[in-house]
């Protein structure tokens, strides 16, 4: 036992230099990266102004870099004007119009190559269709589509006309979709009849219809992509097919030039209250972040084939499918399916087929595929790969080592990228030719990003190995601008702990002797299931909305594949719980919030452990859910006998 412990500590101390073979062919050499750090450290604003001039085609150049007068409502490049879709499409037409922008592989294995010229034409046609159906600058469109090129086309078409998109992941339920449509007061919904994932039909239009029947008064039009070919109902006057909407539309569309601060999109994410937060991003600053992080972290260049396996419904898909790679003029793979269908070698097979050079996925996928054994990756050469990336949650050292050895053949640097929906792009991450990597460590902040770890009083935590609150002490161009319709919540959530210039990420972290960052986990009531953020309050609200539930408390416990799994403690209105009710409740939560939120376990109890002031002792519940020995002080418990009951029922 103790030997194992020592071994795992030693393992985490393994340090890997950037492979020499990698450095030799990298675009950004260590000296180039060092020069970026030096420039950023000597003049934060000037550095970002230079980057913005270098990487973005401005319609009207900016003269002011950063406006902090109304902190924490920071503005970047405010008097500049641009169009994001112009930067992702039009500017490539002369130089790489015929280059493939997207290699799309469908769930059933069908492959489609879309060139930049074709992508431009398809975006323009759809943008014209949006306008023809009443969507204009500043209007919101909710996109509820599968991970197919039309999702990217719809996003870029919104950007083209200055409309604000809000993509809702296709796995979200009808009530979640409705809440997001209502909060954004969206005029239009863009969805599909359905699609297949892992061979299973996802009935998107049915779910959308359910959402629309429960509210969504702001919706005028629903555009429906024919994808699965299943029968769906179309409400006349409101619903129209995508192919009819673009019929006869021109293949050019003058971009709407917008101010740098014009909102590009809203993306909802979970917080520690029941209500999801509409994270609002800008046009200029966000685009800059997408570009520079693709360039620096992925060393992205013309001959790369980039593949981010995320869904466009998450921030990772926004920044590293729709915006970053296209703005850099890269060729990328987009995939509709799941890693294990039809067999657990789907990813590795696709890497070989499409000669992927940069592969970016989530620890949960790595862990799941690792469990299937080395045999699957070993069927494939994987010799096109040059960089591997991970995102979404802490990666355990075992999975990191497996990724390095079995997938990267010890030749590919691993970039473990820490960032958030709110940060818009990478923040703390190794740079592939520059950084020494270490399993489980996100290493160091990017140039122009001032990350620190503070204690509760706001003093920097200097001792190696001590944990603290992860903060960013200077604004950066690609940070969120506010929470849609709720600026107070923005201030309070992200800048409420210290001051109006100190962004609080909601994670705790520590540093090692060399100063490398390690992310420890959330400090709020947010859990991370398979790399997806969920507020425990959301799950609790869903549970208490069930007729038989009086009270519920939700915590997480570690899980081999998902990272964390949900355990719900449930108090019934009457009677005792049984397996059937537990299964009903699990399904109920999945219906209310989506399958990701389905609890792993439901435990029925007569009461919850509470302090005398009535606060649920979640820390205690966490200990119980993990089956650990309770060492906390329980003397403040109002109802100590409850503890024994909870423990007994779990065994
Ligand atoms: C966690 C995903 C450890 C973290 C881009 C963060 C990570 C939350 C990492 C954001 C990483 C993300 N190592 N933890 N490399 N990347 N996280 O908004 O807790 O879906 O706050 O954005 O995921 O999740 P979100």
* Interval 328-344: pLDDT, tens: 999 999 999 999 999 99
Q: Does the predicted TM-score (pTM) go above 0.75?
A: yes
Exposed/middle/buried for residue 591 (C-beta within 10 Å: 0-12, 13-18, 19+) = middle
If you average pLDDT over each of 205-214, 530-539, 558-567, 610-619, which comes out highest? 205-214
* pLDDT value, residue 647: 80
- Once rounded to an integer, what is the mean pLDDT over residues 366-394? 96
- Once rounded to an integer, what is the mean pLDDT over residues 276-304? 97
**Which residue has its alpha carbon closest to ligand 1 atom 25?**
420
Do 12 and 433 meet the contact criterion of CB atoms below 8 Å apart? no
Do 313 and 326 meet the contact criterion of CB atoms below 8 Å apart? no
Residue (of 133, 123, 207) closest to 169 by Cα position: 207
* pLDDT value, residue 19: 94
Has residue 2 got a pLDDT over 50?
no
Distance 128 CA to ligand 1 centre (A): 36
Which residues neighbour 299 within 8 Å (Cβ) at sequence distance 6 or greater?
26, 27, 28, 358, 386, 387, 432, 433
CA 75/CA 476 separation, integer angstroms = 10
**Which residue has its alpha carbon closest to ligand 1 atom 24?**
420
**Which residue has its alpha carbon closest to ligand 1 atom 7?**
393
Nearest atom in ligand 1 to the alpha carbon of residue 521 is 19
CA 634/CA 45 separation, integer angstroms = 51
Structure confidence by residue, pLDDT tens digits, 343-360: 999 999 999 999 999 999
* pLDDT value, residue 359: 98
Distance 532 CA to ligand 1 centre (A): 8
Q: Which two tokens stand for residue 227?
A: 């994808």
* pLDDT value, residue 650: 60
Helices (H), 110-236: 116-132, 149-161, 174-184, 204-213
Q: Which two tokens stand for residue 117?
A: 């010229």
- Once rounded to an integer, what is the mean pLDDT over residues 185-202? 97
Name the β-bridge partners of 164.
140
Has residue 282 got a pLDDT over 70?
yes
Distance 83 CA to ligand 1 centre (A): 29
* pLDDT value, residue 645: 79
- Once rounded to an integer, what is the mean pLDDT over residues 225-247? 98
Do 468 and 509 meet the contact criterion of CB atoms below 8 Å apart? yes
Banded model confidence at residue 611, pLDDT cuts 50, 70, 90: confident
* pLDDT value, residue 1: 29
* pLDDT value, residue 4: 33
Structure confidence by residue, pLDDT tens digits, 244-281: 999 999 999 999 999 999 999 999 998 777 788 999 99
Q: Which of 533, 535, 556, 564 to mutate to test the pocket of ligand 1 (most atoms within 8 A of CB)?
A: 533
Q: Which of 1-10, 15-24, 64-73 has the lowest mean pLDDT?
A: 1-10
- DSSP H or E stretch at residue 24: helix 20-25
Has residue 11 got a pLDDT over 80?
no
Distance 633 CA to ligand 1 centre (A): 31
List all residues whose CB is within 6 A of at least one atom of ligand 1: 269, 314-316, 391-394, 416-421, 442, 505-507, 519, 522, 528, 533
Distance 416 CA to ligand 1 centre (A): 10
* Averaged pLDDT of the chain: 94
The C-alpha R_g of the chain, in whole angstroms, comes to: 24
CA 527/CA 214 separation, integer angstroms = 28
Has residue 7 got a pLDDT over 70?
no
Distance 449 CA to ligand 1 centre (A): 16
* pLDDT value, residue 366: 96
**Which residue has its alpha carbon closest to ligand 1 atom 8?**
420
Which residues neighbour 463 within 8 Å (Cβ) at sequence distance 6 or greater?
none
Nearest atom in ligand 1 to the alpha carbon of residue 526 is 19
* pLDDT value, residue 12: 64
Banded model confidence at residue 610, pLDDT cuts 50, 70, 90: confident
């Amino acid at each position: 036992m103790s030997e194992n412990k020592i071994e795992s500590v030693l393992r985490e101390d393994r340090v890997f230099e950037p492979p020499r073979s990698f450095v030799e062919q990298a675009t950004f050499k260590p000296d180039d990266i060092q020069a970026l750090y030096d420039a950023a450290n000597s003049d934060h604003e000037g550095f970002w102004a230079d980057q913005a001039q270098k990487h973005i085609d401005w319609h009207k150049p900016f003269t002011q870099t950063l406006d902090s007068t109304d902190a924490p409502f920071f503005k970047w490049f405010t008097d500049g004007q641009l169009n994001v879709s112009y930067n992702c499409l039009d500017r490539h037409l002369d130089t790489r119009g015929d280059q493939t922008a997207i290699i799309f592989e469908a769930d059933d294995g069908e492959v489609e190559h879309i060139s930049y010229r074709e992508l431009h034409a398809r975006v323009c046609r759809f943008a014209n269709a949006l306008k023809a159906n009443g969507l204009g600058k500043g209007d919101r469109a909710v996109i509820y589509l599968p991970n197919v090129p039309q999702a990217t086309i719809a996003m870029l078409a919104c950007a083209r006309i200055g409309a604000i998109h809000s993509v809702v992941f296709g796995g979200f339920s009808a009530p979640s979709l409705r809440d997001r449509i209502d909060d954004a007061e969206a005029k239009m919904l863009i969805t599909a009849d359905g699609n297949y994932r892992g061979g299973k039909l996802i009935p998107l239009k049915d779910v959308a219809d359910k959402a629309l029947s429960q509210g969504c008064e702001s919706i005028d039009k629903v555009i429906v992509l024919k994808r699965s070919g299943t029968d769906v109902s179309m409400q006349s006057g409101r619903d129209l097919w995508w192919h009819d909407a673009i019929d006869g539309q021109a293949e050019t569309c003058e971009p709407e030039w917008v101010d740098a601060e014009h909102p590009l999109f809203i993306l909802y994410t979970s917080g520690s209250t029941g209500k999801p937060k509409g994270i609002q991003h800008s046009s200029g600053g966000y685009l800059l972040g997408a570009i520079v992080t693709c360039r620096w972290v992925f060393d992205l260049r013309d001959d790369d084939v980039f593949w981010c396996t995320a869904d466009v419904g998450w921030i990772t898909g926004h920044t590293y499918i729709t915006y970053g790679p296209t703005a850099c003029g890269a060729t990328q793979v987009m995939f509709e399916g799941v890693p294990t269908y039809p067999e657990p070698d789907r990813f590795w097979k696709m890497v070989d087929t499409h000669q992927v050079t940069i592969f970016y996925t989530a620890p949960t996928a790595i862990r799941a595929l690792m469990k299937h054994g080395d045999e699957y990756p070993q069927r494939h050469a994987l010799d096109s790969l040059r960089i591997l990336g991970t995102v979404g949650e802490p990666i355990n050292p075992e999975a990191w080592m497996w990724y390095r050895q079995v997938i990267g053949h010890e030749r590919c640097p691993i970039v473990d990228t820490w960032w958030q929906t709110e940060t818009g792009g990478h923040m703390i991450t190794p740079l592939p030719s520059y950084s020494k990597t270490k399993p489980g460590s996100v290493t160091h902040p990017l140039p122009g990003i001032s990350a620190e770890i503070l204690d509760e009083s706001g003093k920097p935590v200097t001792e190696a190995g001590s944990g603290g609150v992860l903060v960013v002490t200077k604004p950066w161009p690609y940070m969120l601008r506010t929470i849609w319709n709720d600026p107070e919540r923005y201030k309070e959530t992200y800048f409420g702990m210290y001051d109006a210039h100190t962004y609080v990420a909601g994670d705790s972290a520590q540093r090692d002797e060399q100063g490398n960052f390690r992310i420890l986990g959330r400090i709020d009531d947010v859990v991370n299931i398979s790399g997806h953020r969920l507020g425990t309050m959301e799950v609790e609200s869903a549970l208490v909305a069930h007729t038989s539930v009086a009270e519920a408390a939700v915590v997480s416990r570690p899980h081999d594949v998902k990272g964390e799994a949900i355990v719900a403690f449930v108090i019934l209105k009457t009677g005792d719980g049984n397996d059937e009710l537990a299964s009903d409740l699990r399904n109920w939560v999945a219906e209310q919030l989506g399958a990701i939120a389905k609890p792993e376990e439901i435990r029925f109890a007569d009461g919850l452990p509470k302090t005398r002031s009535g606060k649920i002792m979640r820390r205690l519940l966490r200990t119980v859910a993990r089956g650990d020995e309770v060492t906390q002080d329980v003397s403040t418990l109002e109802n100590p006998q409850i503890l024994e009951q909870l423990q007994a029922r779990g065994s």
